[in-house]
Copies of this chain bind each other. A is one copy, B any other.
Amino acid sequence: MTTSIAADQLRSFVERVERLNEEKKSISDDIKDVYTEAKGNGYDSKVMKTLIKERAKDREARQEERAILELYETALGMS
């Protein structure tokens, strides 16, 4: 019956999202644990967070730089 099939499909989608949400939460907890452990070793988690954000920004900048470089190379027929 069509309605039941639709219900099953919907349920399937919902459960997939729920499963992923759980995994996500589990990882967030792990991150918290790392900060707790770092704190126990005398590191300041606020500073660590700033550092990590900086590093992410740097990586991103480097990637973008590379993308631009490739764009130029393509434009100049160097690719």
Contacts and interface: CB of A to CB of B under 8 A. Distances in A.
Interface residues of A, number: 35
Interface string A2-43: 000000011001101110110110011011001101100101
B44 A17 contact: no
Which label, helix, strand, loop or mixed, suits the secondary structure of the A interface?
helix
Contacts of A71: 46-47, 50
- Top 8 A-B pairs ranked by shortest CB distance? A13-B38, A47-B75, A24-B27, A20-B31, A44-B75, A16-B34, A17-B34, A20-B27
Interface of A: 9-10, 13-14, 16-18, 20-21, 23-24, 27-28, 30-31, 34-35, 37-38, 41, 43-44, 46-48, 50-52, 54-56, 68, 71-72, 75
